A and B are shown apart, each in its own frame.
Chain A
């Protein structure tokens, strides 16, 4: 019980730490207003290039609302992990008795919840202002899948966070990774339209599978268990890979007696 309490305290402190330089209205601007502007931009572009057909607009609105989840989860976690190194906390973190997998989980929990909430807000924005239709019956299932997507994206965030211990400009790298996801995961157009070489990357994105599941629920009232399992397997792979990378970095750091 006390271990759980420690984990909970750690996740709250990590979350606070990652938002320490952000005040209330900056938070609203960065996490809500900017994604809303992005959704509106792609909404008008889709309306112009693909006609005013509801199925295209629906496709893009679902994609961008779910993308809000990854924006928050991935960036939040990368920033939390990267910050330890930036402010010189990494040695203290490494010598603490907590298991590395638990450390990552604790650092991710609140970002995962935040991601789900922001995803829900994205959907509410799309329904209220841009005409997306979701049946109330499927709303709960969408919420559950959003949670699983947020969980899966967290594993990608942890992997990118671990890479930040090798790379220098962490935030730019994470930003680029997210923008790459926007392109290859089928957020604004079907990923099947991508050339073969790029379509390969979409299969590596948990967001791609998550979008398939959510679109199935909202559009065709079907539930793709295959896509759900694929999403969870891919994210498990990322999580294990990040643990391996972290352990390797730790090993080299101990050998060289440095954490840089």
Chain B
């Protein structure tokens, strides 16, 4: 029997202490906002239409994904490497908390921090056109964002494991930030991509998260549509969860056999 209260308390404790340690580095806000904010603001000025549901669908929703994805690649992706570099990984592995769960909890924090980009862009949009959010359906959007945080955290943990076992993790991280923006159609409809590339987009949960947020926050919200998206995203995330659990057990095994970084 899982102790839900205990799990939540553990997540809160890990996110709280991770946030405290982040605040010691003054540049975290620059790192977390750099790419998503400059991209979102550039697109805000490229956009030439009126501030309608169309605007919300592509710019506001896109800014959520840009922020959350970048935060997960830049922060969660390197979390385990940091633990190894600071030699604090011993405490994590020897603690009763599972290594994957530890990274997943941190990933929740980074996904939430990725939303700063969305808040800034929404604020600027309201300054430019106060009525720009009139077509926004707030309740479904909040529901969608909460779910997105959960799914992005699973992806973040997967990235972290992947970056740990790969040599060229740095290059991979810079490529991944830009590549997902394209193949997931973050700021434009997927049919603007060639059919062959579109196929890869459907294999990534971010594509479905973008579509879900777009549909439920601007079109007429229906639980059937919402659950359809949730089922697809859950299935895809399940695959990434399975893969990340395998990678983490590999990392723990290697670590215990002193093969990883000779620790």
Contact = CB atoms under 8 A, between A and B. Distances in A.
B174 A188 contact: no
Interface stretch (B13-21, B102-110, B187-195, B206-214): B187-195
A46 B44 CA distance: 11
Contacts of A33: 175
A40 interface: yes
B171 A49 contact: no
Contacts of B37: 179
Given A50-B46, A183-B42, A45 B187 contact: yes
B117 to A, nearest CB: 12
Contacts of B188: 44-45, 47-49
Contacts of A38: 178
A48 B48 contact: no
Contacts of A187: 42
Nearest to A48: B188
Interface of A is mostly: helix
B69 to A, nearest CB: 13
Contacts of A25: 168, 171
A49 B192 contact: no
Given A45-B43, A188-B42, A172 B30 contact: yes
A231 to B, nearest CB: 21
Interface string B34-57: 110111011101111100000000
A175 B34 contact: yes
B30 A42 contact: no
Contacts of A40: 182
A183 B193 CA distance: 25
Interface residues of B, number: 33
B178 A194 contact: no
A226 interface: no
Contacts of B179: 37
Contact of A49 (B25, B35, B46, B181): B46
A183 B182 contact: no
Contacts of B174: 29-30, 34
A223 B164 CA distance: 51
Contact of A176 (B34, B168, B170, B181): B34
B220 interface: no
A166 to B, nearest CB: 13
A46 B39 CA distance: 12
Given A26-B171, A47-B192, A48-B188, 7 more contacts: A30-B171, A42-B42, A45-B43, A60-B46, A169-B30, A172-B27, A189-B42
14 contacts: A25-B171, A26-B171, A33-B175, A37-B179, A47-B188, A49-B49, A49-B58, A168-B26, A169-B25, A173-B30, A183-B38, A183-B42, A187-B42, A194-B45
Interface of B: 25-27, 30-31, 34-35, 37-39, 41-43, 45-49, 58, 168, 170-171, 174-175, 178-179, 181-182, 187-189, 192-193
